[in-house]
Amino acid sequence: MKAEKTMQPDPRLHYLTPLRQTPFHARTAAANRLNSWGPWGGYTTVLEYEDLAMEHSAIRNAATVYDLCPMVKYRITGPGAADYLNRLTVRNAARLPVGAVHYTIWCDDAGKILDDGTLFRLGQDDYRLCCQERHLPWLLDSAIGFDVRVVEETEDVAALSLQGPCSYAVLKAAGFEVAELKPFRMVDFVLDGGGLTVSRTGFTGDLGYELWTTPDRALVLWDLLFEAGAPWGIRPIGTQALDLARTEAGFIITNLDFIPAHQAVREDRVRSPFELALDWMIDWDKGHFNGRRALLAERAEGSPWAFVGLDIEGNVSAEHAIIYHDKKHEVGQITAACWSPTVKRNIALAHVRRPYHSAKSANLWVEVYAMRELQYVKLMLKARVCDRPFFNPPRRRATPPGLF
């Protein structure tokens, strides 16, 4: 019997099948006992596999795997790559060593943030930029005049996040020795006759790694990790558990903690690096970059907003709650919150009007509506500005890592 030729989907008709499946979908679907799915970057991803509390507990006590494939990835190559990235982003890409990674942001001409992400220097003139949103038109427009090539490679890379105190032990058992790999550095290995890059990066605020390979080796990588990680109770985690962990780590997410400047409908919703406590990464001496003039003016004149961590009384999570001063005057808004199982505190990330982030922070209250037997009860809970991250264990940066 003659085999039928497999028809490939027409990319021009992508709107007929709007949600793609990642290269790991065969494994994530089999493990998703709750059939809990959500969209991310045009892909269908798992929100919760089986039990949120157990998934979060595994992040802090064992080893976990999270499917990173929907993360948007851009390859930036050419003799002008470093100069281009120095103009685009606020950090100095030319000072980033080959084999290293740094966290960065980029702004519009008004100094308002478009997105944040991680920049990998794969070679002298070879970078990969990973972020939450798609920015190809902006990146291409910004490349005019530079000897550089910018392409999106999201579909060409299969990525997994391996996080938790036992993540190093799992990698070692799988045959990948990364004892000397420092935070924000990467190393290459051979996987099934192809390439695998392991970077010591992550979004949980704990010991962890991110693994990068090609889609055709995705399932090989997944099976290898789960076979090697069985003694450490390795388990897959969904987005909800990751969101708990990133809140404990004080990390921000685009379109949850801030609105990208080019997407905002209301002009007062956009934020600058100063207003998101990200001004520490600005390299003022590298030369001109997008938004520099506006940011210099803001540095001199001050900013109306501050981004802070909050410690809230009680154990009722305060997602999206309004913040008041003296229970009367609205002074801010919470963007992310949870009762942290790790630090046993009711924590939150919030935008607060200055000077209520410091000088006038002694009398802050959060308005929360808690469900009590089918009826909401209004609670005014005392809040205190505190340091971020809420959770920052020494094992996160220990080199070599502990064999837990």
Specify whether the CB–CB gap between 86 and 107 falls below 8 A. no
Q: Are strands 113-123 and 126-131 parallel, antiparallel or unpaired?
A: antiparallel
The per-residue pLDDT for range 253-270, each reduced to its tens digit, is: 999 999 999 999 998 999
Specify whether the CB–CB gap between 124 and 80 falls below 8 A. no
Query: Residue 197 has which token pair?
Result: 């890059």
Q: Select the more confidently predicted residue: 334 or 10.
A: 334
97 DSSP assignment: P
> How many residues are there in the chain?
404
336: amino acid identity, one letter: A
Residue 6 has pLDDT above 50, yes or no: no
Find the mean pLDDT for residues 350-362: 95
Q: Are strands 235-236 and 64-67 parallel, antiparallel or unpaired?
A: parallel
Please give the share of the chain, as a percent, with pLDDT higher than 90.
Answer: 94
d(CA 112, CA 105): 10
pLDDT of residue 13: 73
Q: Can you give the residue ranges of every domain in the chain?
A: 16-69+157-237, 72-155, 304-393
d(CA 45, CA 69): 9
d(CA 123, CA 144): 22
Closest to 350 measured CA to CA, from 313, 391, 376, 383: 383
The per-residue pLDDT for range 73-100, each reduced to its tens digit, is: 999 999 999 999 999 999 999 999 999 9
pLDDT of residue 4: 42
Find the mean pLDDT for residues 310-319: 96
Alpha helices in 250-291, H assignment, sequence order: none
Residue 314 has pLDDT above 90, yes or no: yes
Query: Residue 163 has which token pair?
Result: 């996080």
Closest to 120 measured CA to CA, from 215, 185, 196: 185
Architecture field, domain 72-155: 2-Layer Sandwich (3.30)
Residue 143 has pLDDT above 50, yes or no: yes
Closest to 154 measured CA to CA, from 117, 182, 101, 200: 117
Residue entry with tokens 């099934």: 192
Residue entry with tokens 């919470």: 334
**Its pTM surpasses 0.85:** yes
The per-residue pLDDT for range 151-162, each reduced to its tens digit, is: 999 999 999 999
Find the mean pLDDT for residues 239-248: 98
- At 5, the pLDDT band (50, 70, 90 cuts) reads very low
Between the two ends of the chain, the Cα-to-Cα distance in Å is 55
Closest to 114 measured CA to CA, from 279, 221, 263: 263
pLDDT of residue 291: 97
Torsional class of 373: left (φ above 0), alpha (ψ -120 to 50), beta (otherwise): left
Closest to 182 measured CA to CA, from 403, 401, 402: 401
| The domain made up of 304-393 is a member of CATH 2.40.30.110 | yes
The partner residues of 339 in beta bridges, in order of sequence, read 346
d(CA 184, CA 198): 10
The per-residue pLDDT for range 15-67, each reduced to its tens digit, is: 777 799 999 999 999 999 999 999 999 999 999 999 999 999 999 999 999 99
What CA–CA distances, in Å, run from 94 to 10, 104, 227, 327? 39, 13, 40, 49
Specify whether the CB–CB gap between 184 and 100 falls below 8 A. yes
pLDDT of residue 380: 97
What rounded mean pLDDT belongs to the chain?
A: 95
Which helix (H) or strand (E) segment holds residue 168: the answer is helix 167-173
Task: Say how many C-beta atoms besides its own lie within 10 A of residue 299's C-beta.
Answer: 16
395 DSSP assignment: G
Write out the DSSP string of 315-327.
Answer: S---TT-EEEETT
d(CA 355, CA 333): 15
- At 11, the pLDDT band (50, 70, 90 cuts) reads low
Residue 8 has pLDDT above 70, yes or no: no
Find the mean pLDDT for residues 322-343: 97
Class of domain 16-69+157-237: alpha beta
